[in-house]
Amino acid sequence: MYAVETSNLTRKFGNFTAVNNLNLRIKKGSIYGFLGPNGSGKSTTIRMLCGILEPTSGSGKVLGLDLLKDGERIKSFLGYMSQKFSLYDDLTVLENLEFYAGMYSLPKNLKKQRIEEMLAMAGLRGQERELAANLSGGWKQRLALGCAILHKPPLLFLDEPTGGVDPKARRLFWDIIYSLANEGTTIMVSTHFMDEAEHCDEIGFIFQGNLIASNTPENLKKSLPAVLLEIEVENPLERLGEISSRSDILDAYAYGPKIHVLVERPEACTDFSYHQITPSLEDIFVYYVKSQRKGLKG
């Protein structure tokens, strides 16, 4: 059963195709990581799924409701947090929460209980009367999350929720995401932090509006038809340009005093001393992007 299912979802801005024939499937109760560089169409996709941006073509179902017909009805069942933590700066923590409780028409007793829970979750007890403007990044982020999930939405969209937040706050935030997923919430989170992607049940790579891979992190790693080698050379920075320009090398980057190269066959590097290492998601992403580019050229 899928919480989100799209077929050929496309959005164009003038001549620019921000999202191109996206076929996305997100299992109920899973955490789906949406990865891609800036401007690759992550936010556009999420906005379409939230019903605040009209798709140019294609269709989709969110929680079984048709994206095109039931756009407004969907809104009661989802939570959305944009990358800007759109809180009212001139309202206090409590006033922000109460405002969104009103937006989702929570009944009085439930409202009180949920606001308490959100304060506890965000670690904002005792700061209820603080203006949102005065909160630092991590707290702001958790307050924004609190406002987005006050109504216990079964589906939660997080658009780059951890931008500009320190590592400790990031970890705290992911702890919250896990516990939400444990309670059955389906979560789609976009990010360009590759380490965050490892936390997800499934990952989708999006590049220039195209979904170029979608699978579990393990399967993605296994499916990689290339290997990552660590080679030792002298003056790695000077040799990098020469090495990466070799046609049989997909990618090369300096890694401390060594160079990591992504190759389809390890034989390509027999002129170096090397050993094979486990690729990270970043390496996999680079591989998919490069092969996508090749495909586009070819």
Partner 1 sequence: MKRLWAILIKEFIQMSRDRLTFAMMVALPIVQLLIFGFAINTDVKHLPTIVFDQSLQQEGRDFLSALEASGYYSINYTARNFQEVNDAIDSGKAKVGIIIPPDFSRNLHGGRSAQVQVLVDASDSMSASSAISAAQLLGQVKSQEIIIKHLPGGKMETPYDVRIRPWYNPDFISAYYMVPGILGVILTMTMVMITSMAIVREKEKGTLEQLIVTPLKSYELMLGKIIPYIFVGYVQITLALLVGILVFDLPIRGSLWLLYLLTSLFIIASLALGVLISSFAKTQMQAMQMSFFVFLPSILLSGFMFPRVAMPKIIYALGNLIPLTFYLDILRGIILKGIGLNFLFTQVLALIVMIIIILTLSILKFSKKIA
Catalog residues that contact partner 1 under the rule CB under 8 A: 13, 47, 50-54, 72, 75-76, 78, 80-82, 84, 86-91, 95, 98-106, 144, 147-148
Which of 200, 179, 178 has the alpha carbon at shortest distance from 189?
Answer: 200
Find out whether 7 and 58 touch, Cβ atoms under 8 Å.
yes
d(CA 17, CA 53): 14
- Least distance in angstroms from the C-beta of 282 to partner 1: 29
- Least distance in angstroms from the C-beta of 107 to partner 1: 9
User: Which residues lie below 8 Å from residue 219, measured CB to CB, with a gap of 6+?
Assistant: none
- Least distance in angstroms from the C-beta of 233 to partner 1: 48
Which of 36, 39, 37, 57 has the alpha carbon at shortest distance from 48?
Answer: 57
Q: What is the DSSP string of 110-128?
A: HHHHHHHHHHHHHT-TT-T
- Least distance in angstroms from the C-beta of 213 to partner 1: 28
Which residue, 98 or 283, is less far from partner 1 as judged by CB?
A: 98
Which residue, 14 or 126, is less far from partner 1 as judged by CB?
A: 14
Which residue, 133 or 254, is less far from partner 1 as judged by CB?
A: 133
Which residue, 162 or 214, is less far from partner 1 as judged by CB?
A: 162
Which residue, 190 or 214, is less far from partner 1 as judged by CB?
A: 190
- Least distance in angstroms from the C-beta of 71 to partner 1: 8
- Least distance in angstroms from the C-beta of 75 to partner 1: 5
Query: Tokens in use for 7?
Result: 């077929």
d(CA 172, CA 170): 5
Residue that is written with structure tokens 């989170």 in the block = 189
Which residue, 80 or 285, is less far from partner 1 as judged by CB?
A: 80
- Least distance in angstroms from the C-beta of 79 to partner 1: 8
Which residue, 89 or 128, is less far from partner 1 as judged by CB?
A: 89
Which of 269, 208, 280 has the alpha carbon at shortest distance from 244?
Answer: 269
Which of 265, 261, 264 has the alpha carbon at shortest distance from 294?
Answer: 264
Query: Tokens in use for 24?
Result: 């996305």
- Phi and psi, residue 233, nearest 5°: -135, 165
Query: Tokens in use for 184?
Result: 């059955």
Which residue, 55 or 217, is less far from partner 1 as judged by CB?
A: 55
- Least distance in angstroms from the C-beta of 61 to partner 1: 18
CA diameter of the chain: 72
Task: Report which residue type is found at 204.
Answer: G
Side-chain half-sphere of 49: how many Cα atoms within 13 Å? 36
